[in-house]
Each structure stands twice: as C-alpha cells, then as structure tokens.
A and B are shown apart, each in its own frame.
Chain A
Amino acid sequence: MENRIEILLEKYSHSRRDSLIPILQDIQEEVGYLSEEAIVIVGKHLGIPTSKIFGLATFYNQFRFEPKGIHHIQVCHGTACHMLGVVSIIEIIEKRLKIKAGQTSRNGKYSLEVVTCIGACSQSPVISINGVYYSKLTAERIKQILEEIMGE
C-alpha cells in the first residue's frame, strides 16, 4: 500500500497544506480508506503533524479510517430520510451487526457508513449495500435484509 500512496503523492510533489484534502480524497478513492500508514506518509510529505491531519479528516463525514467490509452498508441521513425515521433504522443495524457508524466489524464482513442525502428522497428511508439500493425501509424489512446478508 505504501507504494500506491507514494505514486499518488508524486503528482503533489510541490504542494503544501492546502492540498491536504484533495490528497486524502485521492487516497480514499485508491485504497478505500485512510489508514494510519497513509496518514503518516502524507504527514511526512507535507510536513504536517498526524494529529492535525486526523483532526481535519474526522471533521468531514466522507473519510473512513477502516477498510470497507465485504458488505458495505451506506445509510442516507438526509432530511427526508431523517423525517421518516432513519435513525431507528441505523440503531437496528448497529445493534444487529455490533458496529457503529464509520466502523467495520472485526471479521471484516460488514461496515456501516452514514452519508448525507444520496438523492433518492422519494424512496426514503433508503440504504445501499455494495451499491444496491433498498428503499422505503421499515424496521421489519431492514431486519430481514440483515438476516439475508448475514446468512451468506
């Protein structure tokens, strides 16, 4: 992975602090998440303490710090989904999979991400698992979906 990140940093060879966010976005795109190793390399490259990089990265919802699970669940928390009770859907997922938003389960099978509006408001509440959408969710339905992926 070190290599992939270093290649990626080549195009930022003269940059400083202001390119931090684009660099982090590129790494996430390439590797799927911001590992400790990646943050250390970027810190050295830009001369910024890792605490500052981590602080900035955690400010934005878009960055994750663990690799995605085999089943990557994205839950929309836009206004429409919020109004239609997505919070309780998130709670059900967190409880069933024993992970919190932003985390990946220990066995690497599941990960959960809460995202801002994914533009399917008429279908609220909506989630996607590895890019497949599930809409107009109810408590019953989400439990059923979870059983299905857990049974695989």
Chain B
Amino acid sequence: MQFNIEVNNRLIEVRKGETILSALYRNGIKVPTLCNMKDLSPTGACRICVVEVEGKENLVTSCSYPVEESMKIKTHSPRVVKARKTLVELLLSNHPDDCLYCERNGCCELQDLAIDLNIRERRISGKKSRHKLDLSSPSIVRDPAKCILCGRCVRVCDEIQSVCTLDFLNRGSKTIIGTAMARDLNFSSCINCGRCVMVCPTGALHEHGYLDEVLDSLNNPALHVVVQYGPAVTVSLAEEFGIKAGKDINGVINAALRKIGFAQIFDTAFGADLAVMETVELIMQRLETGEGFPVISSCCPAWVKYAEQFYPDILPYLSTCKSPQQMLGSIIKSYYAPQNNINPNSIYSVAIMPCLAKKFEAQREEMTHKAISDVDVVITTRELSRLIKMYGIDIQNIDPQTPDSPFGTRSSAGKLFGTAGGTTEAILRTLHYRMTGKELNSSKWHDLRFVSGIKEIPVKIGGKELKIVLANGLTGIEKLVEGILNKTINAHFVEIMTCPGGCVNGGGQPFKSGDKDVKARTRSLYEIDEVDTIKAAHKNPLINELYEKFLEKPGSDKAKQQLHTCYTKRDVLL
C-alpha cells in the first residue's frame, strides 16, 4: 500500500511498512547514517539519522522508525542539524587527532560527517582512549582508539559471514569491540576475509599494509623482485583513479609495474589456468572410481580457514590444489628461477590481490619449503593504487604493455576466477574437453553467472549429469557443509567464495564502491572472456609448454610437489 507523507514541506510517496530512511532515500533526500547497514535490520544505535516528526516530542531515528500516514517530517531543521552536530562532536571528543597519518584519511565517514556538519573546532573534549594497536594478524590491524562503536563489524561478521569473531566487550565508557577472551585477532576465529574492514566507517579496522616491505625490496639491488596480480585487480583499480567502474586496465597495470621497477610481471590468471588443469585431473580421477565427491574448492583462503576451524571433518573433501596465487608463486621460484639462472633465495615475490585473506595465506607454514616461500608479500588493489601514486605515474597517459614470459599468456577462463561462479565455469570448460575429447560449442554457462546465495546447479557434460553447488558468500554455509557431511547434499564440485560476488568484491578492493561497481567489475570480466581467443586453460600454449618442460602432466609427482598441499584442523576459540 502506498500513501503520502510530507517531508520538508513537500509531499512524497511512501510504502506502508518501510522505514522513514528508506522512503527518504528513494525520493532522493539524503540523511546521514553511521550504524545503519543495507540489508541488515536497523539497531538505532548511533542516532546520526535523526529527523523531526511533527507532534513527537523527541527526534526519531529514521533508520528504524516506520512511516506513518499523514506524517510531517523535517530532515534538516535547525534542531535536527544541531542534534547531529552534537552527536558527531561527542564522537570526536575522544578520537585521536592523527587524521593525517590515518589509513582512512580522505575516505573516512567520520571525517565526512565532520565536514558536512561544518565542525571546525573541538568544543567537547574527552579523555582520549589509549587502547593498543592489535598488529597480530597478517591481514588486519585493529585500532580500538579509533572505534566509534557503530557495531557494523560485529554485525557483518555475525550475520553475513557466519563467523562471529567480534562482539562488544565491557560496558559504558570502557566498551570496546573485541574477540573472545580479548585475544589478539590472529589467535581468534577471524578468517581474514576483511568484510569488517570494508564496513568500518573509520580507521579502527584496516588492512595490514606491506608497502614498506615492497619499497625496501625494490631498492635492494641484491633482490630480483617479481610481481603477480589477481584477475579481479585489473577491472577494479581504475576506480581508485576516478575512472569508470569496471574498466579493464590490465595493459596499463603491466606498464606501471614495469615503470616502478619490478623485474618481471606475471598474471595470476596463469596460475588460475594451472589450478584448472590440476583440479580437473583431480575430478577425473575421482570420476573413475566414483568416490571422494564432492571436490570442494580451496582457492579462497578465508573459506579454507573457516573449514579448518568450524568443520575439520570436511577437510578431506577440499581440493588439494593450492590457490592460483600460490601455484604461480611456487613455479616462479622452482621453474622460472633456475631457467634464468637466478637463485630462488634472491627472488622477492610480490602478489597484488583484491583480498586480505591472501596476506594470511602467503604466510601459512604449508606455503614455505626449505625456507623458500611461494609468495613473499601480498598487497591489495588499494595498496597498488598508492604505490602508483607514490611513483608519480600518470596511468591515463601510459601505453599498455603485456606481461612477461614464460607465463605471458593466460586463458580468459583464468580471468573468470575473479568472480563467484567463474572458477567453476573455467573448470567445466576443461573438464568437458577431458571427458568428451571435444571442445564446447559455446563456452558460456549462463546458470553459473550472477548466482546469489547458495545454489545447486545440474550441468550436462557428454551424456553425464554433474551436480555443481555454488556458494556465493558464506551466509548459510553451515547448512551446506552439514548437508555434505550427512550426505543429504550430493554434488561433484562445490565452489565456495567468502566474499559475496567473489574476489571482485574482496576485502582489498577500493572503498566506497557500491553493488553497482562490483557488478560492473564482474561484467567486465565476462566481456574480456567474450572477446578473448583462448577461452580454456588447456588451450593455453604456455601451460602446455610448462607441463612439457617441467611439470610433466597434471597430477604428476612433480605437480603434486609444487602445486598441491593439505590442510589440518585448527584450534581457536569458536
């Protein structure tokens, strides 16, 4: 049912049952919010969204108050503006004064509010909170002194990610956000997905940055510094430079990285092609015996840690294939290095990822052998944009270049790893060839694209029906895993992506981008695939060459040694 209400002396049409805030937004009227989160129920905690309703003594929180017939609302009356201003001043009263050095300087919601409300002086002064930084996690830094207790991280971790690492601890002025037994993050159940970083309005949760390490290595003449970048990075970086969301600037990134001084530039999509070859081999072997299904993807390190902690019984089903980042890292040091007479110890291998969990993955002990790590350091899309700015490179004015050999060609299937469902699509293309000996007529699998939530999808290959399950995000993941364990869900392949939408929406991606931007990145990946000539991993000539010269064949002992791993139960407080 629809009816009219009056807002700022103008009539607007609203729907029965919706909140004042949603009605205002739909009608293009902007009211600031802090604790409110799209798709989650309102808590009314911060009160920044207050408006004046005629006949009501107190201001009401528009995010939680439903519209009522013949309401008269003022969204920016002097009383409302004054109240909002006081609230923000209170939030600032005990806030550290180090904006200039803050990770979020320039893209902080608290800063924006202070500017919008014209706060020019500190009128209210409180005791500064003196909580120590939590630097324990390789992915995320917690700075409780900057926390304004909006609770968004707690809710995203509980309600979207199903991990429940965080909660409000203590009471009153001593309240902070923390983990069970107030442990440091690295010893908690956190899976490093970074969703909390993406929703934090201030710098209280931010990524653990490694730009200094990268700069030091670039300036160290004894090191041979190589770099790889994830598939989602090339369709996301543009936004950091004010270019339209979804624009692919792969070539420009190659050129910029070369200018910065990286010795060799590689595309992680090549690693993805390798991952396809190995995963398909694994599935083929299991098809022969019909046992060991489902094969569950393990390319998302946040999901892997989730499984290790919450469902160790599911680990035997996880694909033993390392992720594309680690596979490429591994062959850089074991194949590229000797081929070019370089000591693997003097290679410093950098990965640029859309992801915070990849930082954790690179540091896992399984990923280091004889003191040589597959990947030495991981930086994010955001850190890459800073690096480019630091070197004064004008990306609008450089000519695109290509990546380096011996991994200079990738298939567009490898590129699809950047989006939810893409990993499966890439695998099916090669699986089809392996099962039938024939190439696909059309390489598109529409059912696997833009899937929301968890979905079972049957596919036909040759005469055989295979069952695929896609989990786009971890919401509802318990049901899926339990279903697999008690055999009520029978599938051949299960793809699980921790970030809703997949890596295009990862925790290392540009801040302040909306759903539309994320969709644009995904569409861009599909467009790249549309026009590319090599659409499947097994058709990548350099992949075949790598097997001929070094890895022998998929699943060989050599391949197992370099490209596979296994995971074990992890004890943390759940």
Residues of A within 8 A of B (CB): 36, 39-40, 43, 49-55, 58-60, 65
Check A51/B171 contact, CB under 8 A, given A36-B573, A40-B573, A43-B574. no
Q: Which residue of B lies closest to A34 (CB)?
A: B181
Q: Give A4 to B189 CA distance when docked, in angstroms.
A: 26
Total interface residues in chain B, CB < 8 Å? 17
**Chain B residue with the shortest CB-CB distance to A35:** B181
CB neighbours of B180 from chain A (8 A)? 39, 49-51, 53-54
Chain B contacts for A39, CB-based, 8 A: 180-181, 573
Is B459 an interface residue when CB atoms closer than 8 A count as contact?
no
Query: Which of chain A's residues have a CB closer than 8 A to the CB of B179?
Result: 51, 54
Can you list, as one digit per residue, whether each of B168-204 has a CB less than 8 Å from chain A (1) or not (0)?
A: 1111000000111110000011000000000000000
| Known A49-B164, A49-B180; contact A58-B574, beta-carbon cutoff 8 A | no
Q: Does B281 contact A (CB under 8 A)?
A: no
Is the Cβ of B181 less than 8 Å from the Cβ of A36? yes
Asked whether A65 lies within 8 Å of B181 as measured between CB atoms, the reply is yes
Q: Which chain A residues lie closer than 8 Å to B164 at the CB level?
A: 49, 51-52
Closest Cβ of chain B to A59, distance in Å, is 5
Q: Most A CB atoms within 10 A — which of B166, B180, B182? A: B180
**How far is A11 from B489 in the complex, measured between Cα atoms in Å?**
36
Write out the residue numbers on chain A whose beta carbons fall within 8 Å of the beta carbon of B189: 49, 51
- Complex CA gap A60/B169 in Å reads 10
Which of A43, A55, A59 has the most chain B CB atoms inside 10 A of its CB?
A55
Contact B574 A52 (CB under 8 A): no
Complex: how many Å from CA A50 to CA B164? 9
Beyond known contacts A40-B574, A55-B168: 10 more, CB 8 A cutoff? A36-B573, A39-B181, A50-B573, A51-B188, A51-B189, A53-B180, A54-B167, A54-B169, A55-B167, A59-B170
Q: Would you give the shortest CB distance from A46 to chain B, in whole angstroms?
A: 13
For residue B165, which residues in chain A have a CB less than 8 angstroms away from its CB? 51
**CB proximity to A under 8 Å, residues B454-479:** none
**Measuring CB to CB, which residues of chain B are less than 8 angstroms from any residue of chain A?**
164-171, 178-182, 188-189, 573-574
Chosen A-B contacts, 16 in total, with CB atoms closer than 8 Å, are A36-B573, A39-B181, A39-B573, A40-B573, A40-B574, A50-B574, A51-B165, A51-B166, A51-B179, A51-B188, A52-B167, A54-B167, A54-B169, A54-B182, A55-B167, A55-B168
Q: Which residues of A contact B573 (CB under 8 A)?
A: 36, 39-40, 50-51
Q: Which residues of B sit under 8 angstroms from A51, Cβ to Cβ? A: 164-167, 179-180, 188-189, 573
Contacts of B167 in A (CB 8 A): 51-52, 54-55
A103 to chain B, nearest CB (A): 12
**In the complex, what residues of A have CB within 8 A of residue B170's CB?**
58-59
Determine the residue in chain B with the shortest Cβ distance to A43. B574
Expressed in whole angstroms, the Cα–Cα distance for A36 and B574 within the complex equals 11
Report the separation of the CA atoms of residues A94 and B285 in the bound assembly, to the nearest whole angstrom: 66
Q: Which residues of B contact A55 (CB under 8 A)?
A: 167-169, 178
Cα of A58 to Cα of B182 in the assembled complex, Å: 10
Alpha-carbon gap, A49 to B166, bound state (A)? 10
**Is B171 a contact partner of A59 (Cβ separation < 8 A)?**
yes
10 shortest interchain CB distances as A-B pairs: A55-B167, A50-B180, A49-B164, A51-B180, A51-B167, A50-B573, A58-B169, A54-B180, A59-B171, A58-B170
Return A129 CB to nearest CB of chain B, in Å: 25
What is the CA–CA distance of A39 and B167 in the complex, to the nearest angstrom? 15
